[in-house]
């Protein structure tokens, strides 16, 4: 059956329709093991990687479903009209079948990993279906729907591994998702007007400016509280001996606070690019193509690994 479906279309349009560039969102599943010092635990890493692949399948299924629902509108959209389904590169029935198979395989994979993880995966796909059918048509709820999907991703990683996501870090994920969603709506309102998305009729530019400012501030505050309220890292014995003999007070310091400037810069840089109109409607392109932002993310990641795993 699968071969029959794939034979109807060429690989590139299918690959584009699955939106693999948006799979980076599913890296949020690794939050629980990264910030609990378990990233290099082989069993937990591979378990989380399998969970990541499950969510990639579910994400692609939901993207196809969304494109199927939006097919009539996307054909008149200045950007979305090039999507494979809207452009007629993938037959409508074929898209439905692939979306169903990806969703089915994703849910079966989730059930194989864990019953609790299966329920989170089911909640994820149901949220996306509900979002495509209803939520995205209403202001505020469209942004909240995006944020909820990131919360589910984050909590799914915790359910799968058994390691909780710190509360303030969980809120950071929520506020960053809201910030990105608000900047995306702001760009859509300015560049394409209200005709391309029903919810945009209910937004005003100054309201979205307020949302962007609020969520960026909340992200910084939540992350700062996370770095300050977390327990100091456990140093390895050689480094602990060195610090004890040279700078004993360093053992009690909150070393994660040194990562705050990179979070602040990342949010500021993202907002700058979004307000300039640079791929603002496609956040994944901003994150993966802007060199200063990429450098900031990499430095933040390296410092986080240094503090949590090396110091």
Question: In the block, which residue shows the tokens 């509280």?
Answer: 225
Q: What is the pLDDT of residue 237?
A: 46
pLDDT-above-90 percentage for the chain: 50
Among 6-15, 130-139, 184-193, the range scoring the smallest mean pLDDT is: 6-15
Arithmetic mean of pLDDT, 19-36 = 92
Burial class (CB in 10 A: 0-12, 13-18, 19+), 214: middle
| C-alpha span between 34 and 45 (Å, rounded) | 9
Looking at residue 287, what is its pLDDT? 85
Task: State the average pLDDT for the chain.
Answer: 85
Least confident of 171-180, 231-240, 267-276: 231-240
Per the structure block, which two tokens stand in for 214? 């609020």
Cβ contact 96:68 at 8 Å: yes
Q: Taking a C-beta distance cutoff of 8 angstroms, is the pair 196, 142 a contact?
A: no
Q: Are 38 and 165 in contact (CB under 8 A)?
A: no
Residue predicted with more confidence, 74 or 45:
45
Task: Note the helical H segments in the chain.
Answer: 2-6, 11-17, 31-34, 42-69, 71-74, 92-113, 115-133, 141-161, 167-192, 205-229, 237-246, 260-276, 283-289, 291-305
The model's pTM = 0.86
Distance CA 97, CA 36 (A): 40
CA-CA-CA-CA dihedral for 152, 135, 281, 50, to nearest 10: 30
pLDDT in tens, 255-271: 889 999 999 999 999 99
Q: Is the pLDDT of residue 23 over 90?
A: yes
Q: Say yes or no to pLDDT of 215 above 80.
A: yes
SS3 for 1?
Answer: coil
pLDDT band at 78 (very low <50, low <70, confident <90, very high): low
Whether the predicted pLDDT of 137 surpasses 60: yes
In sequence order, what DSSP letters do the residues of 262-304 get, joined into one string? Answer: HHHHHHHHHHHHHHHTSSTT-HHHHHHH-HHHHHHHHHHHHHH
* Residue 71 near residue 96, CB atoms below 8 Å: no
Structure tokens at 140: 């505020």
Residue 6: the pLDDT is 47
Would the pLDDT of 147 be above 60? Answer: yes
Kindly report the number of other CB atoms within 10 A of residue 239's CB atom.
12
The dihedral region occupied by 139, where left means phi > 0, alpha psi between -120 and 50, and beta the remainder, is beta
Across residues 217-229, what is the average pLDDT?
94
Q: What's the token pair of residue 241?
A: 């001996």
pLDDT at residue 148 in the model: 94
Could you tell me which of 205, 181, 182 has the C-alpha nearest to residue 193?
A: 205
Note the pLDDT of residue 186: 84
Task: Please tell me the predicted confidence (pLDDT) of residue 145.
Answer: 93
Q: From the CB of residue 67, how many other CB atoms can be counted at a distance below 10 Å?
A: 21
């Amino acid at each position: 059956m699968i071969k029959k479906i794939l034979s109807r279309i060429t690989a590139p349009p299918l690959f584009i329709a699955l939106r693999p560039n948006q799979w980076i969102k599913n890296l949020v599943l690794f939050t629980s093991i990264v910030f609990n010092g378990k990233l290099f635990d082989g069993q937990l890493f591979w378990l989380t990687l399998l969970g990541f692949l499950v969510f990639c399948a579910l994400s692609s299924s939901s993207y196809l479903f969304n494109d199927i629902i939006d097919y009539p509108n996307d054909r008149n959209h200045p950007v979305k009209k090039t999507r494979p389904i809207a452009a007629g590169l993938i037959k409508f029935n074929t898209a439905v079948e692939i979306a169903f198979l990806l969703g089915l395989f994703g849910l079966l994979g989730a059930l194989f990993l864990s019953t609790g993880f299966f329920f989170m995966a089911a909640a994820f796909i149901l949220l996306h279906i509900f979002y495509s059918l209803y939520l995205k048509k209403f202001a505020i709820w469209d942004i909240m729907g995006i944020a909820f999907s990131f919360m589910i991703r984050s909590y799914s990683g915790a359910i799968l591994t058994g390691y909780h996501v710190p509360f303030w870090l969980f809120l950071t994920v929520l506020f960053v998702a809201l910030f990105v969603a608000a900047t995306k709506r702001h760009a859509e309102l300015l560049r394409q007007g209200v005709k391309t998305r029903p919810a945009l009729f209910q937004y005003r530019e100054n309201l979205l400016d307020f949302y962007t400012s609020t969520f960026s501030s909340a992200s910084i505050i939540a992350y700062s509280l996370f770095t300050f309220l977390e327990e100091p890292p456990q140093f390895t014995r050689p480094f602990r001996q060195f610090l004890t003999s040279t700078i004993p007070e360093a053992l009690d310091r909150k070393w994660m606070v040194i990562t705050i400037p990179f979070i602040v810069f990342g949010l500021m840089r993202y907002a700058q690019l979004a307000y300039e109109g640079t791929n603002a409607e496609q956040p994944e392109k901003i994150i993966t193509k802007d060199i200063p932002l990429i450098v900031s993310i990499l430095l933040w990641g390296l410092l986080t690994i240094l503090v949590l795993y090396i110091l």
